């Protein structure tokens, strides 16, 4: 009898220990998943949205635990609605997260990401090139990395690898009509031109008049990826545009372009990721200039 009671006591303790271990594992996995999501999301305002969503999840779990059924029902439906809203707002971040999972790179999400940066020296060289291209009415599409490295998987076609030192002369020569690399975009990281002849995803957005392919590509890549900016020079008018987070600022002078890019460099240095200051309407459907 004593042996039976001892066995029952041991089984009870084992069950309690197993339940505690299961709870700890559950919490650790949730924290790891939350951390991975926050690693992908870099925007300060968006981080607050994620934290609010996590708070709703915790409140829902707590209301269920204390059997507040009506409150639990309301919070549960609020969580579902918030999840749908976040899925729309964070399309690019969710895409990156799912791509990492699909490649089996979940541990990569837990590690510090590779840093990239746009420098004032690079801005000066790009502005000099864009000024000359604009004056000659030579079409151009320049993709600039900002605080996080891009990868070839971010593009429709990764183009031709160059790994060449950035210079106005190089950019100008690439976009000459006689150059075999002039179609598509160039990819700039720091003081290097990583690749040319990139094919970027096109935006599906339309306006009262037809958008040119370069401008649609600039909008498309910045809609899809938040950590880049794209400079466009119109072949027809020579006008300069800057795309950032799916919005297009134009027409810009070369000096204004430099001012906006330097402002972004300054935001990088302070650890913020604020929208570029707007001097012109950023909604492409409000522009009165033809886009090519």
Span 100-128, pLDDT tens digits: 667 665 555 555 444 456 788 899 999 99
What letter does residue 101 receive in the DSSP assignment?
Answer: H
| Whether residue 29 is found in the same domain as residue 157 | no
Asked if residue 44 is part of any domain, the answer here is: yes
Helix intervals (H) in 175-211: none
Helix (H, G, I), strand (E, B) or coil at 249: strand
| Whether residue 89 is found in the same domain as residue 6 | yes
pLDDT in the model for residue 96: 65
Tell me whether strands 185-189 and 140-145 are parallel, antiparallel or unpaired. Answer: parallel
- Which of these three, 82, 110, 138, is where a domain ends? 110
Mapping DSSP onto H, E and C, the string for 21-64 reads HHHHHHHHHHHHHHHHHHHHCCCHHHHHHHHHHHHHHHHHHHHH
Q: Which of 123, 195, 192 lies closest to 159, judged by CA?
A: 195
Asked if residue 127 is part of any domain, the answer here is: yes
Asked if residue 292 is part of any domain, the answer here is: no
Q: When comparing pLDDT for 4 and 205, which is higher? A: 205
31 class by beta-carbon count within 10 Å (0-12 exposed, 13-18 middle, 19+ buried): exposed
Q: When comparing pLDDT for 148 and 181, which is higher? A: 181
Report, as an integer, the average pLDDT of 155-173: 91
- Which of these three, 110, 133, 167, is where a domain ends? 110
Asked if residue 28 is part of any domain, the answer here is: yes
Span 68-107, pLDDT tens digits: 888 888 888 888 888 888 777 766 667 666 766 676 655 5
pLDDT in the model for residue 248: 87
| Whether residue 55 is found in the same domain as residue 25 | yes
| Whether residue 168 is found in the same domain as residue 192 | yes
Span 243-292, pLDDT tens digits: 988 888 888 999 999 999 988 877 765 444 454 555 444 443 343 333 44
Instruction: Label residue 28 by pLDDT band (50, 70, 90).
Output: confident
| Whether residue 97 is found in the same domain as residue 141 | no
Domain hosting 214: range is 120-286
| Whether residue 91 is found in the same domain as residue 181 | no
Instruction: Label residue 1 by pLDDT band (50, 70, 90).
Output: low
| Whether residue 125 is found in the same domain as residue 86 | no
| Whether residue 260 is found in the same domain as residue 149 | yes
pLDDT in the model for residue 9: 63
| Whether residue 49 is found in the same domain as residue 180 | no
Asked if residue 62 is part of any domain, the answer here is: yes
Residue 17: in which H helix or E strand, if any? helix 2-40
Sheet hosting strand 185-189, strand order edge to edge: 160-165, 192-198, 185-189, 140-145, 228-233, 240-244, 247-252
| Whether residue 33 is found in the same domain as residue 172 | no
pLDDT in the model for residue 226: 77
Instruction: Label residue 139 by pLDDT band (50, 70, 90).
Output: very high
| Whether residue 101 is found in the same domain as residue 133 | no
Identify the CATH number of the domain in which residue 191 sits: 3.40.1700.10
| Whether residue 183 is found in the same domain as residue 210 | yes
Number of domain units in the chain: 2
> Which residue carries 């300060």 as its tokens?
44
């Amino acid at each position: 009898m004593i042996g039976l009671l001892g066995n029952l006591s041991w089984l009870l303790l084992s069950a309690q220990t197993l339940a505690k271990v299961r709870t700890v594992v559950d919490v650790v996995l949730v924290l790891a998943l939350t951390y991975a999501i926050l690693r992908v999301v870099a925007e300060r305002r968006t981080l607050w949205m994620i934290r609010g969503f996590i708070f709703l999840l915790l409140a829902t779990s707590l209301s269920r635990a204390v059997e507040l059924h009506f409150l639990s029902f309301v919070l549960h439906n609020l969580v579902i609605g918030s999840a749908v809203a976040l899925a729309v707002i964070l399309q690019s971040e969710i895409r990156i997260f799912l791509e990492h999972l699909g490649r089996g790179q979940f541990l990569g999400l837990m590690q510090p990401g590779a840093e990239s940066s746009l420098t004032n020296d690079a801005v000066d060289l790009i502005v000099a090139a864009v000024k000359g291209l604009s004056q000659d009415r030579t079409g151009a599409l320049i993709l600039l990395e900002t605080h996080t490295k891009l990868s070839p998987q971010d593009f429709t076609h990764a183009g031709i690898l160059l790994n060449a030192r950035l210079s106005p002369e190089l950019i100008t020569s690439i976009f000459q009509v006689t150059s075999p690399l002039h179609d598509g975009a160039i990819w700039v990281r720091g003081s290097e031109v990583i690749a040319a002849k990139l094919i970027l995803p096109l935006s599906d957005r339309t306006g009262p008049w037809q958008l040119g392919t370069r401008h649609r590509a600039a909008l498309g890549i910045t809609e899809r990826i938040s950590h880049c900016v794209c400079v466009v020079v119109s072949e027809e008018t020579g006008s300069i545009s800057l795309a950032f987070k799916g919005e297009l600022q134009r027409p810009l002078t070369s000096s204004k372009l430099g001012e906006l890019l330097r402002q972004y460099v300054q935001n990088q240095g302070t650890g913020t990721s604020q929208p570029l200051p707007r001097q012109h309407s950023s909604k492409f459907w409000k522009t009165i200039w033809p886009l090519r």
